[in-house]
Amino acid sequence: MNNVEQTLSIIKPDAVERDLIEEIKSIFLKNNFSVKEFKKIHLNKEEAAEFYKVHQSKPFYDSLCSYLASGPIAVMILEGENVVSKYRELMGSTNPKDAKENTLRKMFGISIDKNSVHGSDSIENAKKEINFFFKN
């Protein structure tokens, strides 16, 4: 396989609350992403703020961090060919209203905040985000 990459996936509190972990994982497998690591955790607000610090200048930063810390999440390392961009395509637009058919956010997202899933936006950020949750 050429160009095997890893990326970080988060199933956010709204999707965990609706019991969507297994359904979303099965979609990853259908898309030939392998799940290399998996854990269910509940971040506190400080940890959420550290994870999302690239967004600290945004007006929605505080509510974004409160939301991520509002309930359990599932975090995974996904691996596969060009998985960073393929997973972003599978997630769809940030706002579920704009997401295309058959994308995760179209299928499961409720709002721009409760958009069910997160994925790293570049190979470089994937490394940082994987390291945040899965330090050796």
* Strand 117-119 versus strand 34-41 pairing type: unpaired
118 as an active site residue: the answer is yes
Stretch that binds ligand CMP, among 22-30, 69-77, 111-119, 124-132 (CB under 6 A): 111-119
The pattern of x and - marking residues 36 through 65 that bind ligand CMP according to CB under 6 A reads -------------------x----x---x-
Q: Tell me, by CB under 6 A, how many residues bind ligand CMP.
A: 8
32: left (phi over 0), alpha (psi -120 to 50) or beta: left
Tokens 């392998």, residue located: 34
Contact call for residue 107 and ligand CMP (CB under 6 A): no
Q: Kindly name the residue from 15, 25, 118, 130 that is annotated as catalytic.
A: 118
Q: Which of 78, 115, 126, 129 binds ligand CMP (CB under 6 A)?
A: 115
For residues 132 and 97, what is the distance between their CA atoms, to the nearest angstrom? Answer: 30
- Are 96 and 112 in contact by the 8 Å Cβ rule? The answer is yes
For residues 69 and 67, what is the distance between their CA atoms, to the nearest angstrom? Answer: 5
Catalytic positions are 118
Task: Name the site residues for ligand CMP (rule: CB under 6 A).
Answer: 55, 60, 64, 94, 112-113, 115, 118
